[in-house]
Amino acid sequence: MARTSYIDAARLALAEEMRRDPMVWALGEDLGRGGVFGQYKGLAEEFGAERISDAPISESCILGAAVGAAMMGTRPVVEMRFSDFALCAIDELVNQAAKARYMFGGQTRVPIVVREPMGIWRSSAAQHSQSLEAWYAHIPGLVVAVPATPADNHALLKAAIRCDDPVVYLEHKNLWPLEGEVEADAGPAEFGKARRLREGRDLTIVSWSAAVHSAHEAAETLAGEGIEAEVLDLRTLWPWDRDGVLSSVERTGRLLVVHEAVQVAGFGAEVAASVAEQLHGALKAPPRRLAAPRIPISYAPNLENQVRVTADDIAQAARDMTAVETA
């Protein structure tokens, strides 16, 4: 075990998988110089330009080439630089990669990993700050991973690379410097298995990506007030740990779903609806969502902060929920 940053944990995972399997390679813009955030630093020197491949500025070209290469037996890791930019290649991902296995009756698969740095980061404004995970969770054929810790950015990326289906891999830009314990050469994580950060009896808080850390901070504050919140990090949104969430909420009787993405039609709605449908008779309060308003993210820091979901916001929502029970 070594203390490693979120960004370095993913770089370590990619290097380990490339050493293990010669069919793993990466392509995207600026990879030869280490990537726009430094995610690929040093990999071109070890693996050469054929496996750390620089591409022209054309997201549709990059992803289209990766889909074809994957169907021919390689395992491309595709770098989209920002999740917002990946929208230029949405046809290749949604209409081609996601559907090929089904449309060809299982005769081909598309084992690609599409890395899409997501989320609010340093006044990056409306076209560089979005969290679009709900879009991909809606598409049959796609796996959706949302790592929140360095350990998960290592283990989930390994799982994504070994997966035979296309994986949309969403790394939050604000987590790049986050440090944590990571075991080198550790095996892949299990998709669809949530991580419980802390136990609680009064409320279940479900979250993913960077919002997990705000949820945990809020739970620690609440514990000092006598409110014990259980915090679950979903880790993947498809598959998602439905059984784990239902089991937790069945014990606590309350659900608060927290995410950075826009609340309207966000994945939190899927979680809340599933709990309401299955546990309506056991709930002490209606499920609640806490997420961003449906507005573009501003460049100005004071306006950007208006769409952030903070630990204080989460703690207050939890107080409100535990103060009132359904009749």
- Our CA dihedral for 160, 98, 143, 83, rounded to 10 degrees, sits at 80
Peptide bond into 239 cis (omega under 30): yes
**Residue 327 pLDDT exceeds 70:** no
Q: Per the structure block, which two tokens stand in for 201? A: 């009896």
Q: What is the DSSP string of 21-46?
A: -TTEEEEETTGGGT-SSSTTTTHHHH
CB 54 within 8 A of CB 29: yes
Whole-number pLDDT of residue 1: 83
Token pair 């009749």 is at which residue? 327
267-311 pLDDT, tens per residue?
Answer: 999 999 999 999 988 999 999 999 999 999 999 999 999 999 999
**Structural domains of the chain sorted by starting position, each given as residue range(s) with its CATH number in brackets:** 2-182 (3.40.50.970), 195-323 (3.40.50.920)
Q: Residue 19 has which token pair?
A: 């050493």
154 noted as active-site residue: no
- Which residue in this structure is represented by tokens 């990056």? 124
Residue 125's pLDDT is what? 87
Q: Which residue type is seen at 226?
A: G
Contact of 11 with 41, CB cutoff 8 Å: yes
* Distance in angstroms (rounded) separating the CA atoms of residues 150 and 189: 12
| pLDDT above 70: percentage of residues in the chain | 99
pLDDT in tens, 152-180: 999 999 999 999 999 999 999 999 999 99
* Span 96-144, pLDDT tens digits: 999 999 999 999 999 999 999 999 988 888 888 999 999 999 999 999 9
pLDDT in tens, 36-89: 899 999 999 999 999 999 999 999 999 999 999 999 999 999 999 999 999 999
